[in-house]
Structure 1
Amino acid sequence: MLNTDLLINALTTLLVTIDPPGMAPIFLSLTVGMTRSQRMQVALRGTLIALGILAAFALFGESILSLLGISIGAFRIAGGLLLFVIAFEMIFEKRQERKEKTGEVAITRDHMHNIAVFPLALPLIAGPGAISATILLSGAFDGAAGRVQLLLVIIASLAILLASMAVADRLDRFLGVTGRAILTRLLGVILAALAAQFVVDGVRASFTTYAGP
């Protein structure tokens, strides 16, 4: 059965974490000198690799946590705090600066041979924030049908990201410096609220789990 509110919450969380508008200028800097066709090849390959990584955590994230003896409540608290740090960086423009530095290092070291893998797929798309958000969301999607829905949400999020990279040059010109700053801060506030909700849910789940009879 489809839970519309849960699906919207999951899509919003992943989109804000992945940040397609913010990725556009970084993607352009990573692929400078490439033709449009070459850029699309890099974007498609990087997106598919990121999809594989996030799908693996969506399917097996809870099993990994159980193996390590970590409750989903504890991970919700930790993941929520991590997402809050990312939101803080977005609001104060620290995340964009860090991502741009990551791109610059990759260009000089690898000479753009493996850009799709590093730094595009990891850590720019499927970074700690996206992985944490995916594992957190997997706890809310129960059963095989729920996991399929979560996979569809991940695919939809990455499809939007791929579209933003396809029109990165136009999107960057349209938003401009001011537009990017406003949008990044707005998304940061939304992510902060979602992160706080994850922490609240984690505390509630932990009290429920460890409360005595």
Structure 2
Amino acid sequence: MALFDATLFAEATITLVVIMDPPGTVPVFLSLTGRKTRATRNRAARQAVLVSLGVISLFAVGGHAILGYLGIGIPALQGAGGLLLLLIALDLLAGKGSTEPEAVEDVNVALVPLGTPLLAGPGAIAATIVFVRQTDGGIGDYLTMALAILTVHLILWLCLRYSGVVIRVIKDSGITLLAKIAGLLLAAIAVQLIADSVRGFITGAA
């Protein structure tokens, strides 16, 4: 049995990259950390990616069992993630969060909403669970999935780590505009997640 499945690796990596959208996270990341120091931004990027890696890995190992034990379905996960993102989006659109430089906030934004549910959101969690369930349970498939998850998070870290280049171009006023745009995008993502959640509940009940 091969220890590396190139097809599985390509499918899992491409799917997770599309869902987690590393370049698309940069505007939200900058809207939340753009006025922080470079060291703080780098720390937030590292923490967010590590949180996402931990959440995705946890659900890759025991996601199906965890959701089954708690009686939680993917639609419920989507609804919760959508509501949380909607609250963050409303804060960004209202101009909050950009004038509070407390250190504790630096950690909070790295955990929520950056680490989860923005990076490790319902879509990425659901896709990971599906890929793991489709494997034959061999050690090679598990190693392939682990490598795919690590590769995706390396791409995420690179996008966030070097997002400071964008700050030097757009300046402080650009960050304010970026926060509004990111808030609008987040609101759209949140509404889509809630809609998918409702659709999932209706389909499951039908």
SS where residue 127 of structure 1 aligns?
Answer: helix
Q: CA deviation at 1:76?
A: 1.3
Match of 1:77 in 2: 75
* CA 152–124 in structure 1, closer or farther in 2 if over 3 Å, else same: same
Among all aligned residue pairs of Structure 1 and Structure 2, give the percentage whose two residues are the same amino acid: 15
What's the TM-score, normalizing by structure 2?
0.63
* CA 141–166 in structure 1, closer or farther in 2 if over 3 Å, else same: farther
Match of 2:19 in 1: 13
CA RMSD of aligned residues (A): 4.1
Report how many residues are paired.
187
* CA 43–12 in structure 1, closer or farther in 2 if over 3 Å, else same: same
Q: CA deviation at 1:22?
A: 2.6
| Residue 181, structure 1, aligned to residue 180, structure 2 | yes
**Aligned partner of 2:155: which letter?**
A
- The residue correspondences of 1:98-117 to structure 2 (distance < 5 A) are 100-101=96-97, 104=100, 107=102, 112=103
- The residue correspondences of 1:59-98 to structure 2 (distance < 5 A) are 59-62=57-60, 63=62, 66-67=65-66, 69-70=69-70, 74-86=72-84, 88-89=86-87, 93-96=89-92
The answer on whether the counterparts of 2:52 and 2:120 sit within 8 Å (CA) in structure 1 is yes
Q: CA deviation at 1:55?
A: 1.4
**Aligned partner of 1:161: which letter?**
L
Task: Structure 2 unaligned segments of length 5 or more: list them.
Answer: 1-6, 133-140
Match of 1:122 among 111, 117, 120: 111
| Residue 58, structure 1, aligned to residue 56, structure 2 | yes
Task: Structure 1 unaligned segments of length 5 or more: list them.
Answer: 32-38, 208-213
What's the TM-score, normalizing by structure 1?
0.62
Q: CA deviation at 1:13?
A: 3.2
**Aligned partner of 2:70: which letter?**
I
CA distance in 1, matches of 2:190, 2:157: 18
Match of 1:48 in 2: 46
User: Quick check: 62-71 or 171-180, which moved more?
Assistant: 171-180
SS where residue 70 of structure 2 aligns?
Answer: coil
Q: CA deviation at 1:77?
A: 0.9
